[in-house]
Amino acid sequence: MTTLLEKVCCPADLRLLDADELVALAAEVREFLVDAVCRSGGHLGPNLGVVELTIALHRVFDSPRDPIVWDTGHQSYVHKLFTGRRAEFGDLRGPGGLSGYPSRAESVHDVAENSHASTALSYVDGLAKAFALRGERDRIPVAVIGDGAMTGGLAWEALNNIGSAAHDRPLVIVLNDNTRSYAPTVGGVADHLARLRAGTATSVFGELGLVCTRPVDGHDLEALETALRQARGLALERGRPVLVHAVTVKGRGYPPAESDDADRMHAVGVVDPATGRTSRPSAPTWTATFGDEIARIAAEREDVVAITAAMLRPVGLHRFATEFPGRVFDVGMAEQHAVTSAAGLAMGGMHPVVAIYATFFNRAFDQALMDVALHRLPVTFVLDRAGVTGEDGASHHGMWDLSLLNLVPGLRIAAPRDATTLRAELREAVGDDTGPTLLRFPKSAVGRELPAVRQVDGVDVLSECAGEDVLMVSVGALASTCLEAAGILAAQGIGVTVVDPRWVLPVNPVLADLAASHELVVTVEDNTRAGGVGAGVAQLLHDRAIATPVCSVGLLPEFLGAGKRADLLSAAGIDGESLAERVAAELVSRAEWQDVEVVA
């Protein structure tokens, strides 16, 4: 028998259903989401919380003529179901499959990928201006902002502009107030929303110039639809921005996601739908190893404090927070504020550790440069999910940090290769009071220990041979890949010395001395090749007038799609076999070129 969900192929189909059918549809959607997301992994809790809201939005607004911008975009799965993509959920977050965020390549109903939080209000501000300039005053752009995104500074910059618009910018803002980002939302904004829900405060949004509704039950379809229709009418009639305050429950209808441990269900891997738990024991991760060691350091040093941008558990700071609650600061989705606040903490005599996903640290580049590095402050940055991250796709790969931060004077960057070097380099970073330091590591299991055979002025030599063919410079977790390639090349009679600089930027000058005794230098990193470690090594050799050529192996300057980390690295030529082939080809090419020069 055909289900109601199977009958909804486009938003217009929702308008054909009666009230009872809509309630039944919401139940079907939740059942579908639990099954699909638990099979593939993805954002479960946020989407279970917006089922009724998405139904009401698509019944009231005419997408894509009325563009709907989701912030953050991980709450758009239901929107995808209602815009013709139900059959594609079998490949959710897989290579070539359905993105975990809105995707302009997938559908005209997806306006912006919007996977970095707090941007929707700026998008709709621009869309409303464009529609006004084009005379399309019957089009209403809609921003759905939730999951803590209102704690981001960019949202308030946009509100400052939107609220000042007189009668020329009709738009609708839906505040999806579920009290949570990953964990419960913190700060003055969260407190104000709580007072609005209790009916004990005057809305700050109204004071900024928006027309505001009273808080409405985000799971009451009739009330939601009525509020949204009123908002659309007011926006058109008055030419003004209107805010609908919808109160929802994250994880609605799925007990594991509504429990006290709900933040664990914000985003899940492959889990048992019945329990929400994985059936496989998980290997130790980089994140867990960092979290364990920073808590130990905090027990030893009272000046060490930690900062997170709404991601306490995802970046591994929950143990630190449990043991030393007064020394961990969650600033909300505000990476820029996190970094400059860390600067103030350092000025006040503390040693702050700022743990952020690498992709989100892009936002705080200016603060790292001008607020921390310019003042030579002892702040330690820890970039989780650096390099190729996997299934979250283009916006979440942390493949730009080395290129961007290579520009910051005085910043020392470490890339640990295993658990032992992570613990050691973290301690070295926190022990440095001369200026800023940074550690980067990927989203994956830590892997096996890779001991050094010897050390040369801070550079670990991981393997060496009698020949002087190739010096391979490994960056971080790619050490095992480099050792695999070295083994393959050794079987072909090509000698490879594999080194791990540990502190990869600025480039250790000893690499120039090591390079001078080899025919070829190969650098291997999961960062874009432009401006990364390879570029730094090449510059060092040029400055020292060392003629040894440098082959830089890294990522091309393009946006990578979703997929398993190992598969994406392999596709980029960063696996043992591909790397060995690349090195052998470089040596042959160099030999042939030298022969040509001799003949000439």
In this model, does residue 47 exceed pLDDT 60?
Answer: yes
Residues 294 and 236 in one domain: no
Rg (CA), the chain: 26
> 149: annotated binding-site residue?
yes
Both tokens assigned to 74: 């991980």
* 275 in any annotated domain: no
Q: Domain boundary residue among 381, 412, 440?
A: 440
> 148: annotated binding-site residue?
yes
The model's pLDDT over 349-358, given as tens digits with 9 standing for 90+, comes to: 999 999 999 9
The pLDDT confidence band at residue 600, using thresholds 50, 70 and 90, is: very low
The model's pLDDT over 268-305, given as tens digits with 9 standing for 90+, comes to: 878 888 777 876 667 899 999 999 999 999 999 999 99
How many domains is the chain partitioned into structurally? Answer: 3
* 3-state SS record for 289-333: HHHHHHHHHHHHCCCEEEEECCCCCCCCCHHHHHHCHHHEEECCC
* 370 in any annotated domain: yes
The pLDDT confidence band at residue 183, using thresholds 50, 70 and 90, is: low
Q: Which domain holds residue 194?
A: 4-268
Angle at 184 between CA 310 and CA 115, to 5 degrees: 45
Residues 322 and 388 in one domain: yes
Are the beta carbons of 316 and 287 closer than 8 angstroms? yes
The model's pLDDT over 115-166, given as tens digits with 9 standing for 90+, comes to: 889 999 999 999 999 999 999 989 999 999 988 899 999 999 999 999 887 5
> 115: annotated binding-site residue?
yes
Residues 260 and 316 in one domain: no
The pLDDT confidence band at residue 565, using thresholds 50, 70 and 90, is: very high
Residues 467 and 326 in one domain: no
Residues 474 and 420 in one domain: no
Tell me what the mean pLDDT of segment 95-107 comes to. 92
H helices of 348-385, in order, are 358-361, 365-366
Residues 435 and 469 in one domain: no
In this model, does residue 596 exceed pLDDT 60?
Answer: no
Q: What is the pLDDT of residue 25?
A: 97
* 21 in any annotated domain: yes
Q: What is the pLDDT of residue 280?
A: 66
Residues 74 and 116 in one domain: yes
Q: Domain boundary residue among 411, 440, 469?
A: 440
Q: What is the pLDDT of residue 598?
A: 44
H helices of 465-509, in order, are 479-491
E strand or H helix at 51, and its extent? helix 51-60
What residues are labeled active site? 250, 335, 363
* 281 in any annotated domain: no
Residues 396 and 264 in one domain: no
Residues 263 and 238 in one domain: yes
Residues of the chain above pLDDT 90, percent: 80
Residues 331 and 369 in one domain: yes
Q: What is the pLDDT of residue 599?
A: 45
* 451 in any annotated domain: no
> 254: annotated binding-site residue?
yes
Query: Among 469, 473, 482, which Cα is nearest to 552's?
Result: 473
Q: What is the pLDDT of residue 387?
A: 96
Q: What is the pLDDT of residue 10?
A: 96
Are the beta carbons of 44 and 38 closer than 8 angstroms? yes
Both tokens assigned to 376: 């030579």
Specify the CATH number for the domain of residue 364. 3.40.50.970
> 96: annotated binding-site residue?
no
Residues 586 and 475 in one domain: yes
The model's pTM is 0.93
Residues 167 and 63 in one domain: yes
